[in-house]
Amino acid sequence: MITRQFGIPVTSPGAILRREKDLGTPLGKKTAEVLQSGGLVSDKIIIELIEDWLRLHGGHGFVFDGFPRTLRQGESLTSILARLRTALDLAIWLEVSEQTVRDRIAGRLQCGECGFTTSSSSAQFSERAVCPYCDGPLVRRNDDDLSVLQIRLQEFRTKTEPLASFYGKMSILHRIDGNRERDAVFSDISRLIEDKR
């Protein structure tokens, strides 16, 4: 799935993997089981998927949402981009408290058809939980269970946090307070991207 915001393609490993699952590929089935149990899909698989995606869609700019998540992924991305003769302009670090994470997981809804994600507190979904894009049913995600939160937080601290200094040293890291309303966070991100065009 590709969404276009800022006039350039945006994707995430989650969107790529959901597509594999929907297509019923062996890779899609295997990774769905890993995610169900609260784990992360291996770096090797994620990196291969990202490289394929970049070759197809990354020719005129791109935004990754939730990638890279590990130092190894970050280093691999640097190598892939060197092969493609391009480089990252920005790494945006959304800082959120553990309480914010808990609140958002508890209120998150996802379309069972197209993968669109929203929160149950969004006013337009309070009466009828239907996807605004495809009329599919909005349901709680399976991997949203609070019981997997501790595993995810631990993985974040050990695997993801080292990326802050990795991109800090490259002087492309920008920190944004992600505890605020969605619109405020989005407008900060938009401004950073617009400044690079």
Q: Which residues of this protein are in contact with Zn ion, per CB under 5 A?
A: 111, 113-114, 116, 131, 133-134, 136
Q: Which is nearer to Zn ion, 116 or 166 (CB)?
A: 116
177 forms beta bridges with 95
Q: Which is nearer to Zn ion, 114 or 173 (CB)?
A: 114
Token couple for 105: 């997981």
Q: Which is nearer to Zn ion, 124 or 147 (CB)?
A: 124
Q: Where are any strands of DSSP class E within the chain?
A: 3-5, 8-11, 63-64, 91-95, 108-111, 117-119, 138-139, 173-177
Q: Least distance to Zn ion from the beta carbon of 193, Å?
A: 25
Q: Least distance to Zn ion from the beta carbon of 15, Å?
A: 13
Q: Least distance to Zn ion from the beta carbon of 115, Å?
A: 7
Cα 66 from chain centroid? 3
Residue 134: C-alpha distances to residues 164, 171, 179 (Å): 37, 41, 29
Full strand arrangement of the beta sheet holding 108-111: 117-119, 108-111, 138-139
CA nearest to 3, candidates 68, 62, 70? 62
Q: Which is nearer to Zn ion, 18 or 69 (CB)?
A: 18
What is the Cα–Cα distance from 176 to 31, expressed in whole angstroms? 30
Q: Which is nearer to Zn ion, 1 or 173 (CB)?
A: 1
Q: Least distance to Zn ion from the beta carbon of 18, Å?
A: 12
Q: Least distance to Zn ion from the beta carbon of 136, Å?
A: 4
What is the Cα–Cα distance from 34 to 195, expressed in whole angstroms? 38
